[in-house]
Structure 1
Amino acid sequence: MNSVTLVIFMVVTGSLIAGFTNILAIKMLFKPYHAKYLFGIKLPFTPGVVPARRKEVSVKLGQIITGHLLTPEVFISKIRKPESERFIISFIDRQIQTIENEKLSISYFLERLSEGLTDKIITGFNETLTDKIHSEGDRLYHEVISDLVPEDALQVIDGKVSNIQPQIEKKIKSYITSEKGYNDLYVMVDEFIEHRGRLAKTLKLFLTKESIVESIQREVIKLSEHPKMTGIMNEFISSEYEKIKTSRVSDFMSEKDKSELESNIVQTVGKWINIERLLEKPVAEFNPALFESFKERGKYKLLDNMTDYLSVNMVRIMDKLQLAELIKEQIDSFEIEKLEELVMDVAKKEFQMITLLGFILGAVVGFVQGLIVVFL
């Protein structure tokens, strides 16, 4: 073999070896997809580099993305950009317009969160209301009356009770001296005399019914003004008042009456609140002035609150989302064939250049080796 042929042979051989070596190396990045065995012994370099290191790659990639690319600072910076704020405000405006035009109610949003949530809230509210009223009724039923009245109100009542006796005395005088009082006394005197037989005849000889009634009027008035009677009345009123204050509600109300009262209160409060009607009422009609204020200024306050909340809690939110784990799971679930196809499509030209470079470098090395062999 002459020198030229030898050099050409060395060039071609070196080029083919280097080129096909690069082709094989590129193929071995992904293939084979699974480990290969010969007589129960696992063959080296199987599976390919990417399938073999897939779990490590997915973990590292997740750490890189969340640690250096999708960091909390990046999200916050993106949210605070004017174009992001304009987008959020535009989104809020569209939602407000939808709520207003379609007359969406709270019930609508509750059902969007979870089907049947409205009925659960209504049932829960009514049950809670009933339980609260019954439990409060049971508590008040055994309370002392004076403990249920506020201190200021109790002082006012004490003052009113201390002035009852003069008022009673005044009412007695007014009644006794009135025409009705006179007529009532006259009827009672007439019945008394007419049912006394001889005593009645004797009394008629000395006194007339009119004079007897007038005498009774004077004596009743004197009796009501007598200091002892005043003291007796005051003592009686004070004693009864103290009994009432120290009594319990249960002393004046039976269990049946309490249950009926509680049921009436539940029905009245339920009708007054009407939670079902409130939930079905359009959001925009709850408070039109407040809704208009939110449309004009409140949405910007909402944007500020959202931004501030995300700024403070973004790290915690991302920890809860576990983005690194999510990225790992997605990569692990991605079919290796699809991953190879994707990488090849993206780096096709680069791999072709690597292959070509292998052929060229192999040819250069073969040429140099051929010259060395010829001259040595």
Structure 2
Amino acid sequence: MMILFMGIVGAFIGGLTNSIAIKMLFRPYEAKYIGRWRLPFTPGLIPKRREELAIQLGNMVVNHLLTPEVIQNKLSEQSIHEDIQQVLEEKAHAFFQSDHSIEDLFEQIGVKNLGEQVDEKFYSMIMEKVTEWEKTHGEQSLRELIPTTIWKKLDNQVPKVSDYLLNHVKQFILSPNGYHLMKQHIDRFFEGRGMILGMLQSFLDNRNLIERIQQELVKIVDHEKSIAAVNLVLQQELDKVKGGTVKETIEFLLTEQDRANLLISVKKRISLSQYVRRPVRTFNFSQFEDLITKTIIPTILQNVFSKMGLFVEKWMRKLNIPELIKRQVDTFTTERLEEMVLSISRRELKMITYLGAYLGGLIGIVQGMIVILFD
């Protein structure tokens, strides 16, 4: 009975001691005080050293679990390459066969009214470029701005333009319209000129007179001095154009209203919104799709994975994983930490309690035998 009693007491004390020791890892959660004196062993071990625990946990993850070598080895597996490539190819194919428009796809990431934004940006860009070009070249003469070869071609065209104008003048003089115009002027000339000129007109044959005037006018137009004069006038006007500045030329050709009308015309004729609002599948992107899926994606993945080892460690340093883990652990309450530890090692901790009871009982039995032996 003595040996049995000592064994039971020893088992109880050993199990209770280990159970208390395990609970003292977490309990109490906060320091306990009697007046200003803090009770020893308060708070528990883990609450007292949770900051050190968080730091050590972060270092353990980076140095032993989630190392750059582990990540690099995992990413270097061929199956990973094939899976990523397959996913990207499927996404690309789904994109090019989509019934959604580019505007719809951008709306999914929070960009609304893409068509209007594209048009406004396009028109703003055009106006900015035009305004910038005018500021840069506004005081520059057309002679300096336009290449000399073009001016030479225009100079060579002066005789041709002169011939063209004079030929049209002759055609008009000899035409019925020219005939009637001259008749009207002759009749108007004799009207109100007095009785004598009126009687003279009645004796004259207007038809012959007009024909004679037509012949004389044609001779004047065909005369070499007339041709030279027209050539000279055209060349002088062309020289004036050459000497004019860009700013003067634009102001002469376009008023502010003309500019506004021109912009309106450009907006009507050129609109990019119609393209971003069309379903993607309506575009002829078959060659582009093959280029992306068969060339661009494999090439990019190959380059990325070949250089992955150079960046993994750098990225991990920038991420500062130990600090991230420490911050995350700091957000846990002590109750949650206790729950996490117990959920992982509850069985083992119970075994430690049972082991304490077993050893305590064994020691109690030995003590009982010694007491009986020396009694």
TM over 0.5: yes
Is the Cα contact below 8 Å between 1:165 and 1:233 reproduced in 2?
yes
Q: Following the alignment from structure 2 to structure 1, what is the Cα–Cα distance between the partners of residues 160 and 48?
A: 100
> Which of 233, 236, 247 is matched with 1:236 structurally?
233
Structure 1's 99 and 217: CA in aligned 2 closer, same or farther, altered over 3 A? closer
Of 112, 124, 131, which aligns to 2:117?
124
Matched positions, count:
362
Pairwise CA distance, 1:341: 3.0
Q: Does residue 1:109 correspond to 2:105, yes or no?
A: yes
Give, as a single letter, the amino acid of the residue that structure 1 aligns with 2:281.
A
TM-score normalised by L of structure 2: 0.74
Q: Classify the secondary structure of the residue corresponding to 2:108.
A: helix
- What are structure 1's unaligned runs of at least 5 residues? none
Give the alignment of 1:1-376 within 5 angstroms.
20-92=16-88, 95=91, 99=95, 103-114=99-110, 117-119=111-113, 121-135=114-128, 143=138, 146=142, 151=147, 155-161=152-158, 163-177=160-174, 181-182=178-179, 184-193=181-190, 196-197=193-194, 198-199=196-197, 201-202=199-200, 208-245=205-242, 246=244, 247-269=248-270, 272-273=271-272, 275=273, 277-290=274-287, 292-293=289-290, 297=294, 300-301=298-299, 303-304=301-302, 307=305, 313-315=311-313, 317-319=315-317, 321-355=319-353, 358=356
Identity %: 29
Render the CA deviation track for 1:107-160: whole Å, top value 9, x for unaligned: 33323322xx222x3443344344345445656778478389753655544433
**Aligned AA for 1:55?**
E
Give me the whole-angstrom Cα distance separating, in 2, the residues matched to 1:230 and 1:311: 82
Is contact 1:26–1:351 with CA below 8 Å preserved after alignment? yes
- TM-fit CA distance, 1:166: 2.9
CA drift at 1:14:
7.7
The DSSP-based 3-state class of the residue aligned with 1:104 is coil
Cα contact 1:23–1:355 (8 A) shared by 2: yes
CA displacement at 1:225 relative to structure 2: 4.1
Q: 1:76 to 1:155 in 2, by over 3 A?
A: farther
Pairwise CA RMSD of aligned residues?
A: 4.4
Equivalent pair of 1:133/1:262 in contact (CA under 8 Å): no
Counterparts of 1:336 and 1:92, CA distance in 2: 44
Rounded Cα–Cα distance in structure 1 between residues aligned with 2:232 and 2:161: 11
CA distance in 2, matches of 1:313, 1:259: 53
Contact 1:284 1:291 in 2 (8 A): no
User: How many angstroms apart in 1 are the aligned matches of 2:153 and 2:57?
Assistant: 78
Distance 2:255 2:33 in 1: 90
Following the alignment from structure 1 to structure 2, what is the Cα–Cα distance between the partners of residues 208 and 311?
Answer: 107
Determine the C-alpha separation between the residues in 1 that align with 2:304 and 2:99: 25
- Give deviations 1:190-228, integer Å, cap 9, x for gaps: 5434554423545776x6444433443343334334444
- Once the two structures are superposed, residues 283-334 of structure 1 have per-residue CA deviations (whole angstroms, 9 ceiling, x without a partner) of 3333341465268626545644664686665455545544333322332223
What amino acid is aligned across from residue 334 of structure 2 in structure 1?
I
Question: Could you tell me whether the CA contact under 8 Å between 1:176 and 1:217 is conserved in 2?
Answer: yes
- The code of the aligned residue for 1:131 comes to S
C-alpha distance in 1 between matches for 2:279 and 2:306? 30
Unaligned 5+ residue runs, structure 2? none
Instruction: Give the whole-Å Cα distance in 1 for the aligned partners of 2:168 and 2:45.
Output: 111
Q: Secondary structure at the match of 2:79?
A: helix
2:160 alignment partner AA: N
